[in-house]
Amino acid sequence: MGDSNSNSPPGSPKENPDQDADKKPIAKDDSTLETIVRRIQDSISIGKKHKFWESQPVGQFKDIGDASLAEGPIEPPTLLSEVKQEPYNLPSQYEWTTCDIDLEETCTEVYNLLTNNYVEDDENMFRFNYSKEFLRWALRPPGYYRSWHIGVRAKGSKKLVAFITGVPARIRVRDEVVKMAEVNFLCVHKKLRSKRLAPVLIKEVTRRVHLENIWQAAYTAGVVLPTPITTCQYWHRSLNPKKLIDVGFSRLGARMTMSRTIKLYKLPDSPATPGFRKMELRDVPAVTRLLRDYLSQFIVAPDFDENDVEHWLLPAENVVDSFLVESQENHEITDFCSFYTLPSSILGNQNYSTLKAAYSFYNIATKTPLLQLMNDALIVAKQKDFDVFNALDVMQNQSFLKELKFGPGDGQLHYYLYNYRIRNGIAPSELGLVLL
Catalytic site residues?
Answer: 436
Three-state DSSP at 193 gives: helix
Task: Tell me how far apart the alpha carbons of residues 289 and 283 are, in angstroms, rounded to a whole number.
Answer: 10
Residues shown for the chain: 436
Residue type, 330: N
3-state secondary structure of 320: strand
Q: Which of 192, 4, 207, 209 is closest to 89 using CA atoms?
A: 207
Q: Is the Cβ–Cβ distance between 423 and 71 less than 8 Å?
A: yes
Pairing of strands 344-346, 126-128: antiparallel
Cα-based angle 428, 434, 412 (whole degrees, multiple of 5): 55
Rounded-to-integer distance, Cα 129 and Cα 116, Å: 9
Would you put residue 348 in left (φ > 0), alpha (ψ -120 to 50) or beta?
A: left
Distance CA 208, CA 220 (A): 19
Per DSSP, 195 falls in state: G
In 27-125, DSSP assigns E strands to 94-98
Question: Which residues, 6 or more positions from 176, have their beta carbon under 8 angstroms from its beta carbon?
Answer: 72
Instruction: List, in order, residues 6 or more apart from 170 with CB less than 8 Å away.
Output: 177, 178, 179, 180, 302, 303
421 DSSP 8-state letter: B
CA distances from 364 to 6, 416, 428 (A): 27, 24, 17
**Distance from C-alpha of 297 to C-alpha of 292, rounded to nearest angstrom:** 9
